[in-house]
A and B are shown apart, each in its own frame.
Chain A
Amino acid sequence: MGRDDLVISTRSIFLKKGNRQKFSLLTLIVVSIIVLSLEYFKTGPINQFRSLTKDAVFKISYFISLPFLSVKTAYYGVNDLLKIYEENKQLNIIDLNIEELKFENQFLKEENIRLNALIEEKTLFSDNYHVTNILLDQESPYLRSIVINKGFKHDIKIGSAVRNGSYFIGKVVGVNYLTSRVLLINDLNSKIPVIIEPNGISAIVSGNGSKFNGDIEYLPEKNQVEEGHIVYTSGADGIISSGIPIGKVTIVNSKIVVKFFADFDQIKYVKVYFKK
């Protein structure tokens, strides 16, 4: 390949607009580099513009994905139906003593009230929360996150706890005007301080990308953690409330892990907590 040939073809690639092309490649690469360098501005009008752009993209993306979402929902709906049918068949066989279970439930409720009063704990549900639907459910090796349709207009702040039903599923890591991004507990970068009951052992639950299990780190050497123990948020970071159930301890390949209570495949609505 001659030197002149190379120069000519390079010039043609970068500068020639070509048939039906409105911009040259060089212009667009320069614009991309400028846009990328604007990522350093985390405040001011650039940040506001970025926030609005993200809101717009999330909303558009949500509306375009609606038909696909309905197919996904229908699929899980049928699965649930089959599961319920199987469960119902099983329950028909088992002879449940409902009265006894009712008494047990009542006893546990009263015990819970008594213990809460004992430790002078504020009620866990005293905070305000929004029930919000999920705009985007994003999975990549770099990020397990969801986008919710509440932003700083709705008093959402970075670090707010997010629950699916009663279970902790993640915390807010990015807030736009109308939308927010929630980092799920199974993300590689997620580290949540927890307490394992009934022995009250403190540890950190770290995401490993799995939808089902999370790693339990920084356990004491002589710990008494056993299969079936329940993992709750400890609130040690000062942002997330304590006592939100996360999952149950299980042993997988002789490694202690937490099996999440929440089913990450079927999250449609979440509760995001905020303080006015």
Chain B
Amino acid sequence: MSLFANRIYSKTITSLPTLILFLVVILGLNQNIIYKDFDFIIHFSYIIVFFWSLKKPEHLGYGLIFFAGIINDVVQSLPIGISSISYLLLSVIGAFIRNRTIIHNLIYDWISFFIAILIVGSVNYIILISIFKIPIVYESLILGLFVTFLIYPIFFKIFVWIDNLVLVTQNDKKNR
């Protein structure tokens, strides 16, 4: 591979978390599921922000998280700033857990993620209902958060793989 191609590849790999987050918010990939009487949304962006804030905050800047939130609000037609607060709150919880724990494993992260999304969901619900008077079906919100919690391990494995990929790329860069 030429030097230029190498550089592009390494840049793409190290920016992968940011690219994934922006693709999710720009394309509105937070998947809406309608099954019989159930209607809920899976928040992939919550998983991305929480995972990278907890594991490798240097790969996903807080400023970029803030902008991703703004874009998400515009695309989803929510009051601008609400998603930024949610994402940054997730980052705060992720950073707090990172600071207070030494050993990380899937189960511990998974439970922390559950608590984190419950807090963020509650803040979201309170702001949207009480300040902006946006009608939100409570069951739909809880169901969405629960399904997001359930799929966390799948994304955990994918992101750990991406993290390893980033590490390999960075090591290659150092060795050159």
Contacts and interface: CB of A to CB of B under 8 A. Distances in A.
Chains A and B form a bound pair: yes
Interface of A: 1, 9-10, 12-14, 18-25, 28-29, 31-39, 50, 53-54, 57-58, 60-61, 64-65, 68, 136, 138-143, 145, 174, 181, 188-189, 209-211
Contact of A39 (B71, B92, B132, B137): B132
Interface string B105-118: 00000000000000
Interface residues of B, number: 48
A138 B27 contact: no
Interface of B: 23, 26-28, 30, 32, 34, 39-41, 57-58, 61-63, 65-66, 69-71, 74-82, 84-85, 88-89, 91-92, 95-96, 99-100, 127, 132, 134-137, 140-141, 144
B69 A22 contact: no
Query: Per DSSP, are chain A's interface residues mostly helix, strand or loop, or mixed?
Result: helix
A35 B70 contact: yes
By Cβ-Cβ distance, the 8 closest A-B pairs, closest first, are: A36-B81, A35-B81, A32-B84, A57-B74, A9-B99, A139-B32, A13-B95, A39-B79
A29 B77 contact: no
B144 A141 contact: yes
Q: Chain A CB within 10 Å — which of B61, B77, B80 has the most? A: B77
Contacts of A36: 79-82, 84-85, 127
Contacts of B65: 28
A64 B27 contact: yes
Contacts of A19: 57-58
A238 to B, nearest CB: 25
Nearest to A22: B63
Given A18-B58, A57-B75, A13 B34 contact: no
B84 A28 contact: yes
Query: Per DSSP, are chain B's interface residues mostly helix, strand or loop, or mixed?
Result: helix
A20 B95 contact: no
Contacts of B26: 60-61, 64-65
B34 A145 contact: no
Nearest to B38: A141
A25 B41 CA distance: 27
A39 B74 CA distance: 12
A21 B57 contact: yes
A1 B100 contact: yes
A179 to B, nearest CB: 10
Nearest to A6: B100
Given A61-B26, A181-B77, A141 B40 contact: yes
B74 to A, nearest CB: 4
Given A19-B57, A38-B81, A141-B136, 16 more contacts: A9-B99, A21-B61, A25-B91, A28-B88, A31-B66, A32-B69, A32-B88, A38-B80, A39-B80, A58-B75, A65-B27, A140-B30, A141-B32, A141-B39, A141-B137, A211-B34
Q: Chain A CB within 10 Å — which of B34, B71, B74, B89 has the most? A: B74
A148 to B, nearest CB: 13
A54 B100 CA distance: 39
B28 A141 contact: no
B56 to A, nearest CB: 10
